[in-house]
């Protein structure tokens, strides 16, 4: 695997492959790779001739009081994991390669409405940072295919809308969340948890499962279920940010009679913010 730090280097190697008709897949990441990321690379490997992973801790998607400075940067370990997973190129630019005129001068890409809901309410500007960098990565790499994890459900939905609205010729493929044995969704931020917090963390997945169970047993009082789920999180020692039962189609609050649903949640354990979700088909 080759590690490239500049846009010019990446474009140069990829243009050769494109000319010879090779299918290129991109796996965008912020590094500190775990089994969830490696699964994305494996899917990319099985779908494309050339696999590119990117590692860029994108300052634009962090709020002023968030963990940009402490976000784990583990390039050497990540390189080894990517190499072992069969990645061909790692694109690891620095901030000035991606934002040469600084973040304040950067043209932004914003998906309205969806970016303001749920995680977007708690983290204003976060999704605009995500769509801006993902759009740039798509333009830099021009992949045929890009792979994202389903843990970041709202992010995935927003990226699909951006690609559709801006007619970006990239197929978006999603991969199911990879979990620890106790059900906790793998996330780079799990590394922030102390022993006690780590022991409490699976309550998130358990709460989602209980809510899904209640829905499949015929309880469609979604607002009541949301508030019960928040109480369950609190009882387990988490501070709920939100639990929302929404339609998969537009992520708006589910109403009685809606069938394809997803439960989205975010909660804090100490200073660490975790997210998770669970799809459920509801037969009325
Ligand atoms: O999901 C992530 O790791 C990031 O939001 C992404 C898509 C790599 C953009 O920085």
- The residues annotated with a catalytic role in the active site are 37
- Residue 283 has a pLDDT of 76
User: Is residue 157 one of the residues assigned to a domain?
Assistant: yes
Kindly state the percentage of the chain with pLDDT values over 70.
100
How high does pLDDT run on average in the chain? 97
Domain count, the chain: 2
Q: Average pLDDT for residues 209-228, to the nearest whole number?
A: 97
* Residue owning the nearest CA to atom 8 of ligand 1: 29
- Looking at the structure, do residues 161 and 206 belong to the same domain, yes or no? no
In a domain, 182, yes or no: no
Cβ–Cβ under 8 Å, residues 92 and 56: yes
Same domain, 100 and 44: yes
What's the domain range around 201? 188-279
State which of 120, 151, 175 marks the end of a domain. Answer: 175
What is the CB < 6 Å shell around ligand 1? Answer: 28-30, 58, 61, 130, 133-134, 152, 155
14 with 139, same domain: the answer is: yes
Task: Say yes or no: 165 and 197 in one domain.
Answer: no
The reply to whether 224 and 128 lie within a common domain is no
Is the domain of 209 the same as that of 155? Answer: no
By alpha-carbon position, which residue is closest to atom 5 of ligand 1? Answer: 130
Distance CA 262, CA 189 (A): 23
C-alpha of residue 130 to centroid of ligand 1, in Å:
6
pLDDT value of residue 284: 57
166 found inside a domain: yes
Question: Do residues 73 and 130 both lie within one domain?
Answer: yes
Domain boundary among 122, 144, 175: 175
pTM confidence score = 0.97
Nearest residue to 37 via CA among 87, 89, 98, 76:
87
Residue 131 lies in a domain: yes
Are the beta carbons of 43 and 147 closer than 8 angstroms? yes
Residues 160 and 207 placed together within one structural domain of the fold: no
Q: In whole angstroms, what is the distance from residue 284 CA to residue 208 CA?
A: 20
110 and 250 together in one domain: no
Mutate which of 56, 129, 133 for ligand 1 pocket (most atoms within 8 A of beta carbon): 133
Say whether both 218 and 167 belong to one domain.
Answer: no
CA distance 24 to 18: 8
Q: Domain containing 240 — which CATH number?
A: 3.30.1300.10
Residue 201, beta-bridge partner list: none
- Which whole-number Å values give the CA distances from 28 to 92, 169, 232, 277, 284, in the listed order? 10, 16, 34, 21, 38
- Judge if 150 and 224 occupy the same domain: no
Q: Residue 176 — pLDDT band, cuts 50, 70, 90?
A: very high
Domain boundary residue, one of 148, 175, 202: 175
* Chain segment 240-278, per-residue pLDDT in tens: 999 999 999 999 999 999 999 999 999 999 999 999 999
């Amino acid at each position: 695997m080759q590690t490239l730090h500049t846009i010019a280097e990446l474009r140069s190697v990829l243009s050769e492959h494109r000319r010879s008709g090779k299918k290129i897949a991109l796996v965008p990441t912020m590094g500190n790779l775990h089994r969830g990321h490696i699964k994305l690379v494996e899917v990319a490997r099985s779908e494309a001739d050339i696999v590119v992973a990117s590692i860029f801790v994108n300052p634009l998607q962090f709020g002023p009081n968030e963990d940009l400075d402490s976000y784990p940067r583990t390039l050497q370990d990540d390189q080894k994991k990517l190499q072992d997973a069969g990645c061909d190129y790692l694109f690891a630019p620095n901030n000035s390669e991606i934002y040469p005129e600084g973040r304040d001068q950067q043209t932004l890409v914003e998906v309205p409405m969806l970016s303001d809901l749920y995680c977007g309410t708690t983290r204003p500007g976060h999704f605009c940072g995500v769509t801006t960098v993902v759009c740039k990565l798509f333009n830099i790499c021009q992949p045929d295919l890009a792979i994202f994890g389903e843990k970041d459900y709202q992010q995935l939905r927003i990226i699909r809308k951006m690609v559709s609205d801006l007619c970006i010729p990239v197929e978006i493929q999603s991969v199911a969340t990879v979990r620890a044995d106790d059900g906790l969704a793998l996330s780079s931020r799990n590394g922030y948890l102390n022993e006690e917090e780590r022991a409490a963390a699976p309550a998130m997945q358990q709460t989602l499962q209980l809510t899904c169970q209640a829905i499949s047993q015929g309880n469609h009082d979604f607002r009541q279920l949301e508030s019960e789920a928040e109480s369950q999180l609190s009882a387990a020692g988490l501070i709920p940010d939100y639990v929302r039962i929404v339609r998969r189609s537009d992520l708006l609050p589910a109403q009685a009679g809606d069938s394809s649903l997803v439960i989205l949640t975010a909660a804090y354990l100490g200073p660490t913010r975790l997210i998770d979700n669970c799809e459920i088909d509801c037969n009325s």
